[in-house]
Amino acid sequence: MKNLISKLGVISVLIIAMSMAVYAQDKVYKLKMGTTWGKTASPLIDTSIKMAELAKVMSNGQLQIRVDDATKHKSPLGILDMVKAGQYDIGHSASYYWKGKDIELLPFTSMPFGLTAPEQYAWFYHGGGLELMQKAYAKHNVLSFPGGNTGVQMGGWFRSEIKSAKDLEGLKMRIPGFAGEVMAKAGVLVTNIAPGELYTAFERNTIDALEWVGPSMDISMGFHKIAKYYYTGWHEPASELQFIVNKRAYEKLPKRLQEVLVLAFRLAAYDMYILNYDMNAKAWENMKKEFPDIKVKSFPDDVKQILQKANKQLRDEMAAKSPLLKEIFQSQEEYMKEIRQWSIISDYQYIKDNL
Amino acid sequence: MKNLISKLGVISVLIIAMSMAVYAQDKVYKLKMGTTWGKTASPLIDTSIKMAELAKVMSNGQLQIRVDDATKHKSPLGILDMVKAGQYDIGHSASYYWKGKDIELLPFTSMPFGLTAPEQYAWFYHGGGLELMQKAYAKHNVLSFPGGNTGVQMGGWFRSEIKSAKDLEGLKMRIPGFAGEVMAKAGVLVTNIAPGELYTAFERNTIDALEWVGPSMDISMGFHKIAKYYYTGWHEPASELQFIVNKRAYEKLPKRLQEVLVLAFRLAAYDMYILNYDMNAKAWENMKKEFPDIKVKSFPDDVKQILQKANKQLRDEMAAKSPLLKEIFQSQEEYMKEIRQWSIISDYQYIKDNL
């Protein structure tokens, strides 16, 4: 009898130990992610959802991430604040939306005349970009990672051709953010109009031109039905979204799940770049089929020179106020000087030879 | 007493059930991967190793993949055979190495005048490419996935400038594979020389020209010390490696680990594309610093036309013998027609505007 009870004791200890082991392996971490995107903003919201699915598979179900689109929290541009405050553990947005709060976060989405998508991924992962991004976000107690790339954003839709810099003077254009500041220096009357009212404003001549994203997202807005001139990109050559994470929430995760989460970010980001490349190609083909008279134009040389000069001037002014910003701009510029030489003799020359 | 014993019975069942649960969650699957690459073939072998590490992290240690470089199995080009026979569960190689065994596997690495790296990833994941690749590999009882991209491979090193098609006639060049067949049609005397003897053969004028990869892998071979002309790429615009898996070995894995393995393949592939983009940029900068008189050239128009014609003719001959090959070529060609239009007005035009 005594023997049996002591056996029972050993057995109990075994059961408890095994329960703990099973529990630790199975423990589910429920995280909340807030995004800037509306329900139908493909491929942006799709990428948020895809990331949550990847994290679930890779973690064997231990990471369960609830994805809130912007209709849930009603604050599409408040993602950084909400993640910082812990209202959300994770955010999916774009760094340059917060330039008003922290100018040092601006360069991690895309800079005018800056890096292309593969160049920028190489900068993030092999040129010191990711480290600089963490440094800039550290003051917010937030970690930040690449979150998907749109590729080149087009320069926008124009009702009339821009033949010289003169044609920009007094032109009413919807182009928000830093690119808008650059355009303003070129004499453009920059306005901002809510997305829902853009089509009507454009149709009724309230504005003469507007910038949205690229074919994949422009097509559903219908701007190609109004304007004939589609200008090529200069201001956002490779807009990278960001996944951001509240540092405390991150540190509460076991190391393995931290690793898995970062891998899910990285894969979801690459996947979006490729998905959107395909979507752009299909949308552009469809636009041309429906409206064969769309004309793709690049800005004339004098306009380019003015924009480049304005961009440099605004950048220098910002850098003068922040040593970190100066460091980031320098890092991007030096890296671009090196990597662009390769882009030119590889993909660029290849496409040129086969035009 | 009876009561205690029956309790013990219940407890035993519980212990067995929990042990089984822990075991199933913890069960380690040891897989072997054979690669085509030598120990120092960076970034190729690094990508094999990286993939194994990613699979380990994502599977929480359940997938343990031993990576054998070519010095282990002494059969760098026998990976398909070894994976088919089950000697290896996984292989890391390039599909076009097996064109002698199965011509239908040729187009999944890269085709002359074909897709660029982002275009090709988009074709694999959104244009039906991955499905066609599985179809072509099914007869071997092997699954196949993208395994990392080198980007544009350069057209090769030439001792003298190629000013017209005449200069190709009788030129001795090391250029293996399908590209060699195309070059032969242009009058080139195509030879193959073992990598270890290439430098000496080139230095001693045994050959007049050679093709290797791109700056990241060419630099350690030292060809830039011998030849002054570096020709831009045409024959492998985006060489994609492949991870291949023995179907039975794959089917023995639990579904979750199958998923995880495929995610590790996908992430390791993208990572290599970006890593090699950076390595090419750095190597190219270093080459130019050391030998500022290297001249980058594109083949003149008459050479391009001859190569394009020869390529088309050889492709048509192959396609006539295999309906599947015809289907693959058609799929690539139609997809390229669509997506190249977007590449031209996005990255290409952007780089052009900022030359």
Residues of B in contact with A294 (CB under 8 A): none
Helix (H, G, I), strand (E, B) or coil at A151: coil
**Share of residues in chain A with pLDDT > 70 (%):** 93
Q: Is the pLDDT of residue A1 over 60?
A: no
Q: Is the pLDDT of residue A337 over 70?
A: yes
Residue B92 pairs in a beta bridge with B35, B243
Strands (E), chain A: 29-35, 63-68, 90-93, 142-149, 156-158, 172-174, 189-191, 209-210, 229-231, 240-246, 295-297
Q: Which residue has the tokens 């013990």?
A: B8
Burial class (CB in 10 A: 0-12, 13-18, 19+), A319: middle
Same domain, B114 and B215: no
Q: What is the mean pLDDT of residues B115-129?
A: 98
Q: Is B52 a domain residue?
A: yes
Q: Is B286 a domain residue?
A: no
Encode pLDDT of A109-135 as tens digits. Answer: 999 999 999 999 999 999 999 999 999
pLDDT at A13: 60
List binding-site positions of B. Answer: 153, 174, 211-212, 236
Same domain, B102 and B125: yes
Residue of A7, A349, A352, A355 for testing the chain B interface, max B β-carbons within 10 Å: A349
Judged by CB atoms within 8 Å, which residues 80-109 of B form the interface with A?
none
Q: Is A173 a domain residue?
A: no
Residue A57 in contact with residue B260, Cβ under 8 Å? Answer: yes
Same domain, B218 and B95: no
HEC profile of chain B: CHHHHHHHHHHHHHHHHHHHHHHHHHCCEEEEEEECCCCCCCCHHHHHHHHHHHHHHHCCCCEEEEEECHHHHCCCCCHHHHHHCCCCCEEEECHHHHCCCCHHHHHHCCCCCCCCHHHHHHHHHHCCHHHHHHHHHHCCCEEEEEEEECCCCCCEEECCCCCCHHHHCCCEEECCHHHHHHHHHCCCEEECCCHHHHHHHHHCCCCCEECCCCHHHHHHHCHHHCCCEEECCCCCCCCEEEEEEEHHHHHCCCHHHHHHHHHHHHHHHHHHHHHHHHHHHHHHHHHHHHCCCCEEECCCHHHHHHHHHHHHHHHHHHHHHCHHHHHHHHHHHHHHHHHHHHHHHHHHHHHHHCC
Q: Is the pLDDT of residue B174 over 60?
A: yes
Residue A53 annotated in ligand binding:
no
Encode pLDDT of B270-317 as tens digits. Answer: 999 999 999 999 999 999 999 999 999 999 999 999 999 999 999 999
- Closest chain A residue to B299, measured at CA: A353
Encode pLDDT of B103-112 as tens digits. Answer: 999 999 999 9
Burial class (CB in 10 A: 0-12, 13-18, 19+), B125: middle
Rounded CA separation A243/A95 (Å): 9
Same domain, B133 and B158: no
Cα→Cα distances B272→A132, A339, B263, Å: 22, 16, 14
Residues of B in contact with A288 (CB under 8 A): 341
Structure tokens at A202: 């454009």
Query: With bands split at pLDDT 50, 70 and 90, how would you rate the model's confidence at B2?
Result: low
Count of helices and strands (H, E) across chain A: 14, 11
Judged by CB atoms within 8 Å, which residues 135-164 of A form the interface with B?
151-152, 154
Query: Chain-wide mean pLDDT for chain B?
Result: 94
Cα→Cα distances A156→A84, A298, B309, Å: 34, 11, 39
Q: Is A248 a domain residue?
A: yes
Same domain, B231 and B304: yes
Residues of B in contact with A149 (CB under 8 A): none
Same domain, B52 and B138: yes
Residue B329 forms contact with A (CB below 8 Å)? no
Same domain, B80 and B45: yes
Residues of B in contact with A274 (CB under 8 A): 118, 121-122, 125-126
Q: How many CB atoms neighbour CB A89 within 10 A?
A: 24
Kindly give, in sequence order, each residue whose CB lies less than 8 Å from that of residue B24, ignoring residues fewer than 6 positions away. Answer: none
Same domain, B99 and B168: no
Encode pLDDT of A180-231 as tens digits. Answer: 999 999 999 999 888 889 999 999 999 999 999 999 999 999 999 999 999 9
Same domain, B311 and B258: no
Query: Chain-wide mean pLDDT for chain A?
Result: 94
Q: What is the CATH number of the domain that holds B309?
A: 3.40.190.10
Residues of A in contact with B58 (CB under 8 A): 58, 260, 263
Cα→Cα distances A288→A43, A151, A228, A281, B334, Å: 21, 20, 11, 11, 16
Residue B72 C-alpha, separation from nearest chain A C-alpha, in angstroms: 30
Residues of A in contact with B350 (CB under 8 A): 116, 152, 232-234, 237
Residue of A3, A57, A345, A355 for testing the chain B interface, max B β-carbons within 10 Å: A345
Q: Is B12 a domain residue?
A: no
Query: With bands split at pLDDT 50, 70 and 90, how would you rate the model's confidence at A17?
Result: low
CA proximity to A109, closest of A97, A126, A118: A97
Contact A281 B342 (CB under 8 A): yes
CA proximity to A67, closest of A55, A58, A59: A55
Q: Is A107 a domain residue?
A: yes
**Share of residues in chain A with pLDDT > 90 (%):** 91
Contact A349 B278 (CB under 8 A): no
**Share of residues in chain B with pLDDT > 70 (%):** 93
Kindly give, in sequence order, each residue whose CB lies less than 8 Å from that of residue A330, ignoring residues fewer than 6 positions away. Answer: none
Q: What is the CATH number of the domain that holds A132?
A: 3.40.190.170
Domain containing B166 equals 153-235+292-321
Same domain, B80 and B51: yes
Residue A29 forms contact with B (CB below 8 Å)? no
Q: Is A301 a domain residue?
A: no
Residue B298 forms contact with A (CB below 8 Å)? yes
The dihedral built from the CA positions of residue B193, B198, B201 and B202, taken in this order, carries a sign that is positive
Same domain, B145 and B247: yes
Rounded CA separation B211/A217 (Å): 41
Residues of B in contact with A341 (CB under 8 A): 281, 284-285, 288
Number of domains making up chain A: 1
CA proximity to A113, closest of A153, A162, A156: A153
Residue B125 forms contact with A (CB below 8 Å)? yes
Which amino acid belongs to residue B98? W
Q: Is A55 a domain residue?
A: yes
Residue B248 C-alpha, separation from nearest chain A C-alpha, in angstroms: 22
In the 8-state DSSP scheme, what is residue A32?
E
Same domain, B132 and B274: yes
Contact A116 B11 (CB under 8 A): no
